[in-house]
Amino acid sequence: MGTLLKASHLYRFGAYRLDPKERVLQRNGQPIALPPKDLETLLVLVERAGHIVGKDELLEKVWPGVYIEEGNLARHIFNLRQVLGDDPDQRGYIETVPKRGYRFVAPVEMEPADPEEVVPPTALLVSGPRSSELTPSAARRGHYRRIGLWVLAFSALAVTTILVVWHFRPTQRPLPQRVMLAVLPFENLSGDPHEDYFADGLTEEMIAQLGQVQPVRLGVIARTSILRYKGTKETVAQIGQELGVGYLLEGSVRRGGERVRITAQLVQTGEQTHLWAETYERPLTDVLSIQREIAEKITRSLSIQLLPVKAEVGAGSHINFESYDKYLLGLHELGQGTRDSVNKSIQYFQQGIAMDPSDARLYAALAGAYDASTTYYSSPAEVMPRAKEAALRAVELDPNLASGHVRLAYVHLFFDWDWPAAEKEYRRALEINPSLPEAQLGYANYLGTLGRFDEALSRVRLAYLYDPLALESRNEALWIYYFSGRMPETIEQCQKTIELEPSAGTPYAVLAIAYAQTGNTTEAIRAAEDTVRVSNSPSLLATAASALARVGQTSKARQLLGKALEVAKEQYICRFIVADAYADLGEKEKAFGALQQAFLQRST
């Protein structure tokens, strides 16, 4: 007869402890925020440690009775590997068994949640002493087990009764799990490269449209991650695997005169099968109606039960196409990410507003352009009041426009320093469209500002889910990792970002200061030199100078800070970073002077 076991036991592997009852994962005693399905997936694998868990079995246990795309499961495994891979000992935890499933390969021990808890001799699941090698304390627990056997037997009977009643309870159909979809860049078939902006704008608008159609059940990959597939030769299966999506929307657009021809098709990535294809040829003014029709066809094809869709202000049967054209041109320039392109985008959005002051999207986009110019291009004190004015107008015109709430939240957080107002706006944006990575990342910034870093990093991972290849999202997230004090994780995230874009300056600067924080002089110097090599941003140069000062390279630090301040005569520099560099150099008066300037700038 087997030994009865209480449910309150813990699994230990490496630096981690997993509590299956409380659904909590800890690393070195600190809780780690994990999305519920990530944790459920981990629990199934840990309970079967050392054994292959088939994909079908895993899907059934984590999502019982619900159809889930295999790509969604792969994304949860990816998230878990990111979390567990951060362990300093660099152990491997989850092994992929090709064409079969996954196996948890690290040694797992089972221990009581309470020192007096009843534990069977087989508590060590994968590697550990055999039952004949029990310690004296284990023998004492065996004595307590015999004393409490009758109590446990009656408890088991009660539990059995409850389970029988539970089995025959009235059941509700479980909600479908979110399906992941990516909209590939629409192809410009007009023959004129100058019309690329129209195809790119249509792609972005399609992403926004789908993101708000059924946010609880349909997740949509963001624009920044799909741009790399413009003109790609990769197969549907490869793209689906890289992005972790089960479906792709492909399309083309041909604009001629006053008419537009749009072709779209929905493809299942796993089987590479076409679910539907449609061609629309309409007047240009019908372009938004076409987008809505495509969105509805997608949701019907994926068998998602639609909730009532709230129409956007300005998205009716009639639009001011001249202002819409300026909107698309502005989005195209904003996506280039340079100082000049950001300024051009502001001009386009302002021109569009002059033509149609009732379009909320233009105001939200204008606020976003102002946001993009802060920290590295313009002083917050100069542009953030304009961003706030535009964001307030966007929300006033369309309370259901997620991007408007994101922009207003950004102003509340980084300029007004009004935490409750920022939280309110971020939560509203996430309620409307949780697929919006800037909403997830913005909320992560809010949580990090309050010191709630576990929750913040959980939001960062969600932002990565919806925008896995975005450089800007990762750049911003690096500061959240750094200020959380988790230097090994910060270093790893910097390295991953550099792999994504070797010419980006921010990851090198953060890497330099993270290495300096850990006392790794050689790597800190190398990362600081790389910052200078790839970037001329005065704020990033000042960050690198701070790193050099922390590892005792005082002369080099002063020289680099001087260079940063010289460049700052022509470009904006964040005075908070300058103050940090002066403090690291031991120049307190200059540090306080820079802090005063930072306060006046509303620098963050």
Are 156 and 22 members of one domain?
yes
Measure the CA angle with vertex 293, ends 287 and 298; round to 5°: 130
21 touches 7 (CB < 8 A): yes
- C-alpha Rg value of the chain to the nearest Å: 27
The domain that holds 37 is classified in CATH as: 1.10.10.10
Q: How many domains, the chain?
A: 3
Beta bridge partners of 404: none
pLDDT of residue 71: 60
Lowest mean pLDDT among 7-16, 70-79, 401-410, 548-557: 70-79
- Token couple for 468: 């896995």
Task: Quote the mean pLDDT of the chain.
Answer: 78
Are 191 and 162 members of one domain?
no
Which one of 124, 141, 167 terminates a domain? 167
Q: Is residue 333 part of a domain?
A: no
Q: Is residue 445 part of a domain?
A: no
Are 54 and 200 members of one domain?
no
Beta bridge partners of 27: 16, 30
The four Cα atoms 140, 144, 147, 148 give a dihedral, to 10 degrees, of -160
Which one of 244, 276, 309 terminates a domain? 309
- Token couple for 420: 């409750």
Which one of 251, 281, 309 terminates a domain? 309
Tell me the pLDDT tens digit for each residue of 432-459.
888 888 899 999 999 999 989 989 998 9
Closest CA to 415 of 457, 377, 371, 373: 371
User: DSSP class of residue 374?
Assistant: B
Q: Is residue 412 part of a domain?
A: no
Domain, as residue range, for 502 = 495-604
Tell me how far apart the alpha carbons of residues 490 and 498 are, in angstroms, rounded to a whole number: 12
- Token couple for 290: 């076409």
- Token couple for 334: 């904003």
Are 154 and 213 members of one domain?
no
Q: Is residue 18 part of a domain?
A: yes
For residue 24, give the H/E element and its range: strand 24-27
Are 201 and 102 members of one domain?
no
Tell me how far apart the alpha carbons of residues 40 and 24 are, in angstroms, rounded to a whole number: 10
Are 298 and 188 members of one domain?
yes
Are 158 and 196 members of one domain?
no
Give me the phi and psi of 250, to 5 degrees please.
Answer: -110, 155
Q: Is residue 294 part of a domain?
A: yes
Are 271 and 227 members of one domain?
yes
Q: Which residue is it, tokens 């459920």?
A: 40
Are 213 and 302 members of one domain?
yes
For residue 331, give the H/E element and its range: helix 321-334
* Buried/exposed code over 509-540 (b: 16+ C-beta within 10 A; e: otherwise): bbbbbbbbbeebbebbbebbbbbbebbebbbb
pLDDT of residue 305: 39
Tell me the pLDDT tens digit for each residue of 451-492.
899 899 989 988 888 888 777 788 889 999 999 999 999 999
126 touches 93 (CB < 8 A): no
Are 154 and 19 members of one domain?
yes
Q: Is residue 114 part of a domain?
A: yes
Are 124 and 205 members of one domain?
no
Tell me the pLDDT tens digit for each residue of 283-306.
877 776 777 777 777 766 665 433
The domain that holds 571 is classified in CATH as: 1.25.40.10
